[in-house]
Structure 1
Amino acid sequence: MIFDPGMGFFLSSDFQVSFEVLKKIKTLQEEFSPMMVSVTKKSFLGNALGGLKVEEREIPTVIAELYLCIQNVEYIRTHEPKNLKQALKIWNLMNK
């Protein structure tokens, strides 16, 4: 069994709720592991930046996914694996 906290409108119409879940992801992992999180182009990312359209959410998506990787989330469901792979490569080069 893999825990998925759900993100975006599933949690709340208030985008801050999703960010609170992300900030507390380590605490959630203590209780629910393994975990899978998906933030790809979610509405909470667009709403946090003034209502970005879906096609404008690639950069916020990669930032949120990279954060989840750094937090050691076991599974990240993404629609753009190439973008995340590139971000991880740069992150790893910067942290050698």
Structure 2
Amino acid sequence: MPETPAIDAEDTAAENAGAFVTESAARVAVLERLVEGPAAPGEIAAERSVDAASVKRATEALRDRALTELLVTDDERVYGLTAKGERTLFFLEAEGKI
């Protein structure tokens, strides 16, 4: 009987996170922008031509999944990409999904 290939938990997590990200163009735009460095939702919306409300929802949803992190809360919310977010983006690019 052939051996069943082992399932890599990290690959599965990246695939699941990737599916979540690709359900929304705003989520994709946020991750692609944050790979360049931290940014505020308004900045992301302007640079990526995405509705500001969509970017705000996307940053919060990505933060809930630990793909982004809130870096500054004083005057303006600034988000950064987490290691999990970087892995997910890499997975999506490697799979040709974005």
- Establish whether TM, by shorter chain, passes 0.5: no
The structure that has the greater radius of gyration is: 2
Q: TM-score, normalised by structure 2?
A: 0.29
